[in-house]
Structure 1
Amino acid sequence: MIQTAEITTTPISGLYPEQIFDAPIHTEHWTWVKFETDSYDTFYGQFKGEPRQIAISNENDCCYVLTDLLLYEINRAQPRQFTTLNYDDVGGLLRNVTLTPSGQVMLSDYYTIFISKHKNLDTSKEFEQQITPIETPIMIDYIEFKEWNNHLLSIHALDFYTQQPVQLMFNAQTNEITQII
């Protein structure tokens, strides 16, 4: 089972096993991810698109790789089983992905933060049916998920109207976002 994942540079060819996570989209840009299993085996994955983020947790059976084009959901026990979510299907551009301490998927585009209704996404269903937008105290732009501290996620963004930086905190126990003043 995959235990760790990190975005990396292209590995030396043949040094480690490699897996291409293909998708029906054309691009010249690729993301490389180094995976390590619970038996300390290392392999590299190649994903379509430029790198954004990775989300992995022992509380979720899947690992998520976000590129500028696609969101990949990879089965941690059987990495050859994966699905992709094309941004065109959701009508936007995903910028962030993380997993809450309980393993729920959290995503954002530039303006909105979403949380999944279930632990894993189901690409056979409409994206909007699987997520819930989280209300923010002010309208925001250019959202960036930072780091988790227990059940609190630090979020940096810009005030939509003034374009001034704001700091927000998501509480995974209450699913609420507050502004840090």
Structure 2
Amino acid sequence: MIIHVQITEQPLAGKYPEQIFDAPISVEDWTWVKFEDENYNEFYGQFRGAPYSVAVSSKYATCYVLTGNYLYEIDCNNPTDYIAHDFWDLGHTLRNFTVTPNGDPIFSDDYTIFTIEGTLSQQQEINPPIDLDMIQFKHWDNQLLHISAEEFIIGKPVALILDANTMKIRFK
């Protein structure tokens, strides 16, 4: 089972097992990801699209790889079982992705933040106190996700915190 992932550079050819995670539409950029299982075995994956972020949700036994063109959902128990979601299919151009300490995936496009209940078709928007633009997930501090954004239309920078326990967003 995959327990750890990280975006990396292309490994030396033949040094590690490699798998190509292809997608239906060809793009120029590629992302390399190093996977590690519970026995510390490593392998590398190659994904279409520029690198954005990766994380493992232990709650759903799913590894997520977000590139500039696709969101890949990979079964942690069987990495050859994966789905490449085109942003058109999702209804969002995803910009950010993270997993809460409890294993809940959190996504955002430029304007909305949402979580899912098991599958991407079951999206639940997390409403901020104001309308946002240019959302960026920064870092976790225990159960608190620090977020920077701009107030929609006005362009004023704002700092927010999402509490993973309550799934509520407040000003920092």
The TM-score by the shorter chain falls in which range? over 0.9
In 2 relative to 1, CA 32–107 (structure 1 residues): closer, same or farther, beyond 3 Å? same
Partner of 2:18: 18
Structure number having the greater strand percentage: 2
Distance 1:90 1:73 in 2: 13
Counterpart of 1:158, as a letter, is E
Partner of 2:161: 169
Counterpart of 1:175, as a letter, is M
> Which region of structure 1 is more displaced relative to structure 2, 162-171 or 41-50?
162-171
**Cα distance, 1:92 vs. partner?**
2.8
Q: Secondary structure at the match of 1:5?
A: strand
Task: State the Cα RMSD in Å.
Answer: 1.3
The CA deviation string for residues 28-76 of structure 1, in whole angstroms up to 9 with x for no partner, is: 1110001111111111000010010112143330010000111011111
Contact persistence 1:59–1:101 (CA under 8 A)? no
Q: Does 1:43 align with 2:35?
A: no
Partner of 1:153: 145
**Cα distance, 1:77 vs. partner?**
1.3
Provide the identity percentage. 47
- 2:134 aligned to 123, 129, 142, which one? 142
Distance 2:130 2:75 in 1: 36
Unaligned runs of 5+ in 1: none
Moved over 6 A (4+): none
Distance 1:171 1:91 in 2: 25
Q: What is the TM-score with the length of structure 1 in the denominator?
A: 0.90
